[in-house]
Copies of this chain bind each other. A is one copy, B any other.
Amino acid sequence: MIKLIIDTAGGDHSPGAPVEAALNALRKNNDLYIIFTGDEALIKAEIEKNEPVDAGRYEIVHAPDVITGEEKPTDAIRFKPESSMMKGIKLLRTNEDIDGMVSTGATGSLVAAATVRIGRIPGVIRPVFCPIIPTVNGGICGVSDSGANIKCTADQLLQFSVMSRLYLEAVYDVKNPRIALLNVGTESEKGDSAHKDAYKLLGKVHGENFVGNMEGRGLLSGNYELIIADGFSGNIMVKTMEGTALELLKLLKKQIYSRMKYKIGAAFMKTMFVELREFMNYQNYGGSVLLGTEKIIVKGHGSSKALSIEKCIEQAVTMHDHNLNEQIERGIADIQEYMGVYTNND
């Protein structure tokens, strides 16, 4: 049995999409139990719209408030206890039998609340945020960290690599990932002392799986399955990639509509453009996980529709079924001898 909280507010398609996703997941997985947090009346109305599911397999916890992306995370945590997200975090913290939470709400507030309120797996210095990026050769690449930790020590970067590698293996069946460190050049002595030290640690722990430093331009190349980054530059890399892809697609579309002959040409290529859009569609890749907290936290993209949120739920279930957090606890214990060697973070 796995018990998951579904935050029904804060996403672009809330509460419809999260409710529909959870009910679909319940129908497919008899081991699942769902706790909806959000506006009770709205959730009930959404449940009505869907094919019925045994009412004994879910419950609703009323939480009328919503946290928006504009809110300062520390304020959200302090002043919005009645929000669907904070109520969910509280339930997760106080109920040992609840395994995790899926949310499409404000990323900053979710990461902050989970980091502060949910305990860490023993030995973990800081949880890490690890989205999955599709690469141009049809593979995937995890980016860890991508925003939870603005400044990182070499020890933290090493822990990120261990947690994310276990995650990639458990959920995406990635064996022997090529692991790289995001830096401003490929030479080993690039970056500040945390990056230089992390370079050495990653080599010691991952051996040949650590392929060295990489630059921002390699993200989509398919040359790496796991990129280790401090949260500041990891966040900038992922968002720059998203923005560049979006802006270029917009430009392409604008150009096509500028001339009749381009429109004719585009008609021949319609299925190709659909495929390209699907390749870049985050809906197809589930959510970003927070690794290192005692409970499972999956953050779906704010624009997630039901199918994408269902994938987030599947991610949470797979993490649970693989006892990922126990694996992480053992993995972190195994690298204990490498920790604390470098303490200077410039």
Residues of A whose CB lies within 8 Å of any CB of B are 72, 108, 136, 147, 150-151, 182, 184-185, 187, 189, 191-192, 215-221, 231-233, 235-248, 250-252, 255-256, 258-259, 261-262, 264-269, 272, 275-276, 279, 346
Q: Which residue on B lies nearest to A147, using beta carbons?
A: B184
A220 to B247, alpha carbons, bound, how many Å? 7
Residues in B with CB closer than 8 Å to A147 are 184
Query: In the complex, which of the residues B189, B216, B262 contacts A269, with contact meaning CB atoms closer than 8 Å?
Result: B262
Nearest chain B CB to A190 CB, angstrom units = 8
- Are B221 and A243 touching (Cβ within 8 A)? yes
- Are A240 and B216 touching (Cβ within 8 A)? yes
Query: In the complex, which of the residues B238, B245, B261 contacts A248, with contact meaning CB atoms closer than 8 Å?
Result: B245
Q: A150-B184, A150-B192 are in contact. Are A239 and B215 (CB under 8 A)?
A: yes
Residues in B with CB closer than 8 Å to A256 are 269, 272
Q: A255-B272, A266-B269, A268-B265 are in contact. Are A220 and B244 (CB under 8 A)?
A: yes
Of the candidates A182, A216, A219, A235, the one having the most CB atoms from chain B within 10 angstroms of its own CB is: A216
Residues in B with CB closer than 8 Å to A72 are 187, 189
Q: Which residue on B lies nearest to A184, using beta carbons?
A: B235
The secondary-structure label for the interface of chain A is helix
Nearest chain B CB to A186 CB, angstrom units = 9
Q: A256-B269, A269-B256 are in contact. Are A240 and B244 (CB under 8 A)?
A: yes
Nearest chain B CB to A196 CB, angstrom units = 11
A250 to B268, alpha carbons, bound, how many Å? 19
A255 to B277, alpha carbons, bound, how many Å? 12
A217 to B282, alpha carbons, bound, how many Å? 15
- Are A217 and B233 touching (Cβ within 8 A)? no
Q: What are 5 A-B contacts defined by CB distance under 8 Å?
A: A184-B236, A216-B237, A261-B268, A262-B268, A266-B269
A258 to B72, alpha carbons, bound, how many Å? 48
- Are B235 and A220 touching (Cβ within 8 A)? no
- Are A251 and B184 touching (Cβ within 8 A)? no
- Are B245 and A192 touching (Cβ within 8 A)? no
A240 to B229, alpha carbons, bound, how many Å? 14
Query: In the complex, which of the residues B216, B232, B255, B276 contacts A239, with contact meaning CB atoms closer than 8 Å?
Result: B216
Q: A191-B150, A236-B184 are in contact. Are A243 and B218 (CB under 8 A)?
A: yes
- Are A216 and B232 touching (Cβ within 8 A)? no
Query: In the complex, which of the residues B184, B187, B269 contacts A232, with contact meaning CB atoms closer than 8 Å?
Result: B184
